[in-house]
Chains A and B, each alone.
Chain A
């Protein structure tokens, strides 16, 4: 039972600091410092207890995720060739330099690198709020319905469950440059457009199609996760708020939003990660055309690796991206959990 209590205390601390064996900071019980041998034996016992649940997943994780990612760091610092028996000499920061030298020159590696990076940032700014707001609003609306909850959930979820290739086919089709493509037709009927647009052939319309595609396919996922979270909020709080005379808007901002904060964090991390990893949309719709101006990092890296076989440079770009995304996520974590410890 003591071990169990310790775990709980630890979980409570976790929001503010990593779970080190806390030296009595703010704890109810002063923690007694054991000798090293005792602590080692205690740790060993705890590991033996958890091992049946932990081992398989941990081994697979190390073999298929951690090791490949560490090896990737090595590749980033070398002139890597996939051929068996090749030398793969260590080249230091050469691969990283290529992404910074000659940013202003058209056609340099760095030029296209930064265009792709810019497109990723724009994708984060457009698709993450788009999916979050739309997904949460639809989830709240569905949650408050008396009838027809499930049918709406199914409808908004269909785009999520469909294969990327299928929905990319559809988007390719409705954004065709002809008069008769669905989007051109509707916009011309509404007199928003005078002439049909070649959506996928121009930089900004191409980017917007990619973003709209991402939001259209992604917000149903946000909605489903939020509806699961909304079901977990106790009704007592809403009843109490109603008695105190709170409006629906107030209830939304003071009860709903704080209650789903953990879910929001999970979704934000995932969506930002998703927007930074936008790939299949670009791969299937524009392939980065015209001349790399709708390109994104993943497609850039993938092309560099598998079309030009520049694995070292591709891995270096990926590493920088990974560091960038991770730093962003850590800042978010600090920001969102700040002072929340309840």
Chain B
């Protein structure tokens, strides 16, 4: 019994390592290429591992010739802002739908579902006229409000299930102790649904970090651009200068990967609601 368990573990590891190699090779190829002077024609053998000595000029060029530090700060500010708005709105909305009864609740919920099915980019024209009317074009506040509005439907749908699965006994005992709705939300529901909220927050943050079309459409000034937009324009200018382009790409994704590795330990923490009701 024990032996077959160990064998199964090894088989799983082998399969996962095989998949991991497929997933990571393109990235390795990108990083190695960013340290080489490749332009125009590709070398005969694909670049997978870096060749020494490293060619670091690509990075210097990207960093100095383009305003990447500024773009980095912009992206950070708007992504964090978007994340805060997103979590606050989504959690309170989902709580309303999971734990309150009011007329028209399911009707509104179905409207949410309906709007989720409509292609998002299509509303871009009308959204532009709305923001224009509010005088919020070329303003981060406009983008944040827009993101706050567009996250509502999907996240209410996602969180609602998790919130409803919180044992009612916990809340009832809190109500008996005189807690308010708000206290129940912050002291019971949110802590118990932390993994779900954390998971969704990661997606939100990194969706905002890599957002291309919204920033491209609603932000006009060059100093307010974000990394994705800057990289897309950069790509247009340096189509076949692979080394240079990948140096820029690496600069764009390294912060994302670092942030994810730091935060995922908190977000992926286990032990959901099990054991909370016992006793």
Contacts and interface: CB of A to CB of B under 8 A. Distances in A.
B158 A266 contact: yes
Contact of B114 (A64, A159, A326): A326
B126 A165 contact: no
Nearest to A270: B154
Interface in B167-215: 168, 172, 175, 181-182, 185, 195-196, 199, 202-203, 206, 209-210, 212
A326 B172 CA distance: 37
The interface centre, meaning the residue of A7, A19, A50, A166 with most chain B CB atoms within 10 A of its CB, is: A166
Contact of B101 (A10, A148, A164): A10
Interface string B86-123: 00011011011011111101111011111111111111
The number of chain A residues touching the other chain, given as a range, is 35 or more
A322 interface: yes
A191 interface: no
Interface string A77-95: 0000010000000000000
B158 A60 contact: no
A144 B12 contact: yes
A268 interface: no
A76 to B, nearest CB: 10
Nearest to A248: B8
A148 B152 contact: no
Contacts of A63: 130, 145, 149
B261 A154 contact: yes
Interface stretch (A97-105, A197-205, A298-306): A298-306
B84 interface: no
Nearest to A134: B19
B252 A182 contact: no
Nearest to B132: A84
A331 interface: no
Interface string A18-61: 11100000000000000000000001001101101110111011
A156 interface: yes
Interface residues of B, number: 110
Contact of A50 (B15, B19, B102): B102
Interface string B115-148: 1111111110111011000000000000001101
B223 interface: no
B116 A174 contact: no
Nearest to A168: B235
Nearest to A146: B9
A180 B242 CA distance: 14
Interface stretch (A111-119, A311-319, A334-342): A311-319
A174 B152 contact: no
B99 A155 contact: no
A60 B145 contact: yes
Interface stretch (A121-129, A249-257, A275-283): A275-283
B126 A178 contact: no
Contacts of B245: 169
Given A64-B146, A69-B115, A69-B118, A173 B30 contact: yes
Given A65-B123, A75-B125, A163 B227 contact: yes
Contacts of A221: 203
A163 B12 contact: no
Given A47-B103, A311-B125, A329 B120 contact: no
B20 A321 contact: no
Interface of A: 1, 3-4, 6-8, 10-11, 14, 18-20, 43, 46-47, 49-50, 52-54, 56-58, 60-61, 63-69, 71-72, 75, 82, 138, 141-142, 144-146, 148, 150, 152-167, 169-171, 173-174, 176, 178-182, 185-186, 216, 220-221, 224-225, 227-228, 231-232, 234-235, 262, 266, 269-270, 273, 276-277, 279-280, 297-298, 301-302, 305, 311, 314-315, 318, 321-322, 325-326, 329
Interface of B: 8-9, 12-13, 15-16, 19-20, 23-27, 29-30, 33, 41-46, 48, 89-90, 92-93, 95-96, 98-103, 105-108, 110-123, 125-127, 129-130, 145-146, 148-150, 152-154, 156-158, 161, 164-165, 168, 172, 175, 181-182, 185, 195-196, 199, 202-203, 206, 209-210, 212, 227-228, 231-232, 235, 242, 245-246, 249, 252-253, 256-257, 260-261, 264-265, 268, 270-274
24 contacts: A7-B101, A8-B168, A11-B98, A46-B102, A57-B93, A60-B148, A63-B130, A63-B149, A64-B130, A64-B149, A64-B150, A72-B118, A72-B126, A141-B15, A144-B12, A158-B24, A161-B202, A163-B253, A170-B30, A224-B199, A262-B161, A266-B161, A301-B119, A326-B114
Given A182-B48, A225-B199, 13 more contacts: A11-B98, A66-B111, A141-B12, A161-B253, A162-B210, A173-B30, A176-B42, A185-B46, A232-B272, A270-B154, A322-B122, A326-B114, A329-B113
